Chain A
């Protein structure tokens, strides 16, 4: 009996030893282990590291098969720094579909990390992943640990105190899994929002085509102004791009705010649907005493700008992902309404 135990002990020691030895020898190789397609396909991985999207997670350096991208006009998100990545399984490619979202193959992962500066350093707050599975997209939020080494699944979301780039102290909300769907839900399904061709640069799309990650250059790509260059862009384009990106995931048919009848999508051309001369439906005190969503020439009496300019829950729009007013976005929309012919 003792003999057997001793043997077992010796055996496990030997195994441990060999494991250590292997780890020492193969460490550089293990770092470039491929992305974990299994984790994308099923289950709810507890840790972001399980997916193996990053070569250096703390520095947000992705592995070769994960490609960073940016959007011309981004969602505001209290001024968070956002790092976006797309992963496509080996041998697959996106299919161009005009100005909208490309058709992503099953197995795709869209990854977005939110960061704020703290004590002069970048602090990673959360990483949201959108996983394209056989039965549709799944959205999961991951919250970064204090040590900034890994992020843990936060299915019920979380709140934490931090300071925005403008120096405003806020209670930041990491959305729960259902809240992911409040923005990403369309006709009952979860869908991506950001990477529409019209909001992606030609350069990046060209690179994706060259890398065989995209079958062809989409028609009508790269229409939205680059946000940092909005002052030199067409005013209507800048304002409408802003509203499309920041509002239209809810304010469109089939989405969370469909019952309002307000449709702020880029492609919407009906003045009434865009809110011009449109009365509110369920705005409550969000109307702020105003009668119409947009009054041409008068941002001061338009509900749209009233709600954008408020940080107060129950009045503020968007309802999620906004604790502070986006002054730059508000300025563009105000000017657009101001210059609108009454």
Chain B
């Protein structure tokens, strides 16, 4: 089973790196959709001898929401805002990629120090999850367009989800679904906010939302 797990984890990291380097929003949305599907496969891959119905249901829900519903919402927000690419992010793409590499190295180092209980999952899980979380945070602070910031938030969520899968077994299904529900509503609310911001300001460049200071 480790082969499947490692494939999933490598895909998770690669999609984060792709996001760090992509400038066109359409591509970003496709990468984050891919990452969502991969995240949904992770609990199935980790659960050694065949997934229980509970794991299968949660995995399927994650794939459905993160892989299909969110990208659909984001694409609509992008169309309405008529913004196709990120305008001059605060940090350039090459620097961003370099940061991603550093984040990955840092996560491996942190994992070797932390010694988290991973219950027989692949050794890669924790470093990959940490790196995804850091890259997600980095995307939020380094991008200017509201849609890109939401994408960063989704990457952060995926990282946390992977982290949870690795270190906590048997989280009650009710809670997992509740959490998923919250993320779902969060992205939905952010979508509506983007719609309003676009209508009032005629752009979704959050760097130019500077009325409130001090």
Tell me, yes or no, whether A binds B: no
Listed in ascending order, the chain A residues whose CB lies under 8 Å from chain B are: none
